[in-house]
Amino acid sequence: MIGLAQLHMADGELKEAKQLCELALFWRPEKVDVLKIASECFFRCQDAARNLSLLNKLVALVPEDGDAWFRMGVSLEDLSRPEEAIQCYDRVLELDPNSISALSNKAGVLRGLKRDGEALKCFDRALEIDGKNAMVWRNKGGQLIEMKRFREAIAALEEAKRLGASDASRGIDFCRQILCCNGPEQLFAKAHQELGRGRAIDALSLFDQALQLAPKVAEILINKGVCLVRLNRAQEALDCFNQYLALKPDSGEGWINKGAALGELGNHREALVCFMEAKRLGLPQADRAIAICRKKMGL
């Protein structure tokens, strides 16, 4: 009976195959071969819920069946259960650490969850296994576009195209257009405009994009820091001001902003040191910052 179901599947007669699988499952519900073939049938019929119930039985009987775990992951994706799908792909990778299919599918789920860094690691691991896989290069390029890392995306997509993924050309053209219209200067100007309108979150995104293209531009760093202070993210702002001062150690503006971030973090003693340095460098507003800081310290 199950063999006949296979024949119907081979001929694309899925309705007939499904009926025969149901009969086979009625008579032999715990037989591994029946579960495998029936699962494939329901998978092809896009009946994710029924397929999942069969796969649960199958992996209970044969826990080392990587294909079953993989199809369970796909079914869980179809049922909008991403975290459980990831667990299934992780199980496949325990059984076969070199499974590019599991890595690619896991990356896709992570991407949908906006866990971009983890998704990128999956693509990189897949390319360590097979650096000539055009599909993985193309998907990595798509992930990098999602992360607004357009120059890296172009490199990945060009490699995909070289390996035969002709559809990578569209992504390459898109990235080049973005870079042409959104160089660091343009992005910086847009970010300033958004910050002036009180839209600090939008401004921060633009500052980040600008820094991806020009990571050592001091003015972008200090303005990103100011933006982060407005968003009550003083520790991240402090990192920006430190990077800025590494580039421009004699900037009174940099020292007073660093002091402000330290003050937000409650570190008034170090903040005072920064304000004093700003004063030494001739920044007029440093006197007021010093007075406020001393008052907070009870001096």
Architecture of domain 184-297: Alpha Horseshoe (1.25)
Per-residue pLDDT, 5: 45
The mean pLDDT value for 235-260 works out to 95
Higher pLDDT, 77 or 120: 120
Handedness of CA 256, 260, 261, 266 (dihedral sign): positive
- Indicate whether 153 pLDDT > 90: yes
Per-residue pLDDT, 52: 76
Whether this prediction's pTM lies above 0.85 is answered by: no
- Give the separation between CA 45 and CA 166, rounded to whole angstroms: 30
- Indicate whether 36 pLDDT > 70: no
- Give the separation between CA 31 and CA 294, rounded to whole angstroms: 79
Architecture of domain 122-181: Alpha Horseshoe (1.25)
- Give percent of the chain above pLDDT 70: 84
3-class state of residue 13 by DSSP = coil
pLDDT-derived band at 71 (thresholds 50, 70, 90) equals confident
Residues whose CB falls within 8 Å of the CB of residue 225, separated by 6 or more in sequence, listed in order: 237, 238, 239, 240, 241, 244, 257, 261
Per-residue pLDDT, 193: 87
What residue spans in the chain does CATH classification 1.25.40.10 cover? 1-96, 122-181, 184-297
- Indicate whether 3 pLDDT > 80: no
Per-residue pLDDT, 8: 43
Per-residue pLDDT, 34: 59
Architecture of domain 1-96: Alpha Horseshoe (1.25)
